[in-house]
Structure 1
Amino acid sequence: MKITQRITPCLWFDDQAEVAAAFYTGIFPNSRIVELSRYGEAGFEHHGKPKGSVLTVAFELDGQRFTALNGGPAFTFNEAVSLQVNCDTQDEVDHYWDCLSARGEPRAQQCGWLKDQFGLSWQIVPAVLIELLTDPDYEASQRAMKAMLQMKKLDIAALQRAHAGG
């Protein structure tokens, strides 16, 4: 088998790998479930999963390969790792924010961060934000930063107004 992507994120779920992969592939364009593997009899004394239940789901989100693993309840997601979604327009920000946060943690996190229904953290980031925050005009970049720190879902127009001094 030829390597097509050297680094593939593996997301550990208790038993929701297939449901999560279907959820994520339904949100992003150019996405699909690639293959499933299933638990067999080997290793039952270690994993305790029923024979035939889903072990891994290989899937792609907008062409990026991921693996979802049903590894049991030993590990859960936390904010130390998140997935960034770079957006060109406010419509994209709204789409990914609304879809990923649906049934997620009731209180959204600050600055474009959210947790989805599986506890995975995402950052929904408009591309223009990087330009605003790295502007050599220190005062303008700081106004954009201050505005961003007040937001949950990022608002491109409001960030641009703050940057401009309005």
Structure 2
Amino acid sequence: MQKITTYLWFDNQAEEAANHYVSIFGDSRILEVTPMIVTFELEGQRFIALNGGPNFRFTEAISLYVDCESQEEVDELWAKLTADGGEDGSCGWLKDKYGLSWQIIPKALPRLLSDPDPARAERAMQAMLKMSKIDVKALEDAANG
């Protein structure tokens, strides 16, 4: 059991959102559903979704960071999370149809941004700043000059 659980406030779509997220990520499941609260896991991480009403909305002040193995994983998650009203953001960020912010980040990005050669890292950074969804090949090409 994890000690700290992310608690997400929805208007009235907690179960719908939980089912949507569970359908996107492997090793995910709904644990419990009540009229007010849905408890679910994504990739082993527990979340609680509340049907709390319209008083509060998600902001970019909190986001879910997804560490992606490949460009294919980035592309797949990006498409699924922006579907049906989600929005592209910048630098690997997006909002899903519920307004929740996600960072869909390939492992290559932090590796390139922390390259021991400052010029390579800077070229990768400048390329990333122009992207919405992260493109690993474009980052690598930029880093290589």
User: How many percent identity over aligned positions?
Assistant: 56
For the pair 1:157 / 2:137, whether they are aligned, the reply is yes
Residue matched to 1:72: 53
Shift of 1:14: 0.8
Distance 2:142 2:84 in 1: 31
1:114 equivalent in alignment to 2:94: yes
* Residue matched to 1:7: 4
Aligned to 1:60: 41
Q: Runs of 4+ in structure 1 displaced over 6 angstroms?
A: none
- Is it true that 1:101 corresponds to 2:82 in the alignment? yes
Q: Indicate the SS of the match to 1:11.
A: strand
Residues of 2 paired with 1:105 and 1:27: CA distance?
14
- Tell me what 2:21 maps to: 24
Displacement after TM superposition at 1:104 (Å): 3.0
CA distance in structure 2 between the aligned counterparts of 1:11 and 1:103, rounded to whole angstroms = 20
Aligned length: 145
1:36 Cα deviation from its structure 2 partner = 1.2
Please, which runs of 5 or more residues in structure 2 have no aligned partner?
A: none
Letter in 1 for 2:143: H
Cα distance, 1:105 vs. partner? 3.8
| Match of residue 47 from structure 1 | none
Paired position in structure 2 for 1:130: 110
Alignment of 1:143-154 (within 5 A): 143-154=123-134
Write the distance in 1 (CA, Å) between the matches of 2:66 and 2:126. 21
Structure 1 letter corresponding to 2:36: L
The two structures have a TM-score, normalised by structure 1, of 0.85
In structure 1, the gaps of 5 or more residues are 38-53
| TM-score (normalised: structure 2) | 0.98
Aligned-partner Cα distance in 2 for 1:86–1:29 = 13
Aligned-partner Cα distance in 1 for 2:143–2:85: 31
